[in-house]
Amino acid sequence: MADDRAHHMAIERKALGVGKWANLFMAFAGLLTAWLSRSDAMLVDGLYSAVNFLSAIAAARIGARVGLPPTRARPWGHDFDEVLYVTFRSLILIGVLVFAAVVSGMKIWTFFSGGTVPELIFGPIAVYAVVIVAICLGLAINFHIAYRRTGRKSAILKTEAQAALIDGALSLGSGAALLSLPFLEGTFLGPYVPIGDAVIVLVLILAIVWQPLSTFRTTLADLAGVSAPGATHAKVARAARDLAREKGYKVQRSAVLQAGRVHWAVVYLDPEGPVLAKDVDAFRDALAARLEDLIGATRVEIVVTATGGLAAPRLTANAQPPQIP
C-alpha cells in the first residue's frame, strides 16, 4: 500500500509539474496578447492561467502531505489540506471572474457614457487562441490520465483537469468571438464592435462561473463536517455490521466524513462482553482494509459504547449566550 501511495504521488507530482510550467507560459502569453490587442478577454485568460500556475505550486506541496500519519502538531493528519486547497482555489477563480466582470462592465459604461474605448487589434488574438487551446487540451488529457492512473481519488488532479478544460474553453470562445467581430462591421451591430470583447467576457463568465461555485459548495460541505454521500455511508455501515457480526459485536451507528481523497469513518461499537484493547485495534485495522477496497483510503476510529446516540454537549456558564437586558 505504501508503494502504491508513493507511485501515485509520483504520477500526481509529474502531472502537476507539467501543468505548472505550461500555465506560466500561458499566463505570460495571455498578458502579452492583452497588451498587444487591447482586449479584456485576453487579460482574463492570462489571469486565469496565472492562478493555475500559482495553484499548481501549492497543489504539489499539499498532495505530498495528504495521507501522512498524524503528528503532535497535526494530530488529525493533513487530509483536510486538500479540501482547503480546492476551496480557496475556487474562491480565487471566482474572484478573477468577478474582477473580469467589473472591468468589462466599466468598459461598457464608458462606451455608453460617450467615452473613448480602445480599438482592438486582432492579429495577436488569432495566434494566441490557436496555441493556448492546443496547450489546454493537452493539459486536460494529461491530468485526466494521471487522475485515472491514481485510482480516481485525487481531488487535486480532478480540479486541475477541469480548470484546464475551462481555460481552453475560455480561450477558444473568446478567440473565436473576438475574431468574428470585424464581420459585424456594416451591420446594425457595427457601432457596438468596440465593446464586443467586454460583452464576450460577460457571456463567458456566465457560462463557466458555475464550475468554481459548484466546487466551492462541495468542499465547503466537507469542511463543515457534512456527512459523506449516502452511498458511501451505506458501504461503511454495511462493512462495519458484517465485520461486527463475524466478531460477535454490535454496531450502534457509524459516521462518515470526506476529506478530499480520504474518508474518515467513526464506528460506535458495543462488544457486548469483555474485550481487550488489542481486539478493538484488530477490528479497526480489519475494517480499514475492507473500506480501502470499497471507498478508497479511509481513517477508521472505533468508539466503544453501549449506546448509539450522540451525547449532548455540556455548556459551562461561560459558554452561555449573553443575556440581552
CB neighbour burial string for 245-268, b if at least 16 within 10 angstroms, e if fewer: eeeebebbbbbbbbbbbbbbbbbb
CA 206 remoteness from chain centre: 19
Grid cell at residue 43: 487579460
What pLDDT sits at residue 316? 60
Mention the CATH class of domain 2-223.
mainly alpha
Tell me the per-residue pLDDT of 94-119, one tens digit each, with 9 for 90 and over: 888 888 888 888 889 998 898 888 88
Q: Which fold has domain 230-304?
A: GMP Synthetase; Chain A, domain 3 (3.30.300)
What pLDDT sits at residue 271? 93
Contact indicator for 37, 120 with CB cutoff of 8 Å: yes
What does the domain layout of the chain look like in residue ranges?
Answer: 2-223, 230-304
Q: What is the DSSP string of 56-95?
A: HHHHHHHHHHTTPPP-SS-TT-SHHHHHHHHHHHHHHHHH
Mean pLDDT value of segment 165-173? 78
Tell me the per-residue pLDDT of 124-153, one tens digit each, with 9 for 90 and over: 888 998 898 899 899 999 999 998 888 877
| pLDDT(293) > 90 | no
Q: For 54-58, 204-208, 282-286, 309-313, which range has the lowest pLDDT when averaged over its residues?
A: 309-313
Q: For 253-257, 304-308, 310-314, which range has the lowest pLDDT when averaged over its residues?
A: 310-314
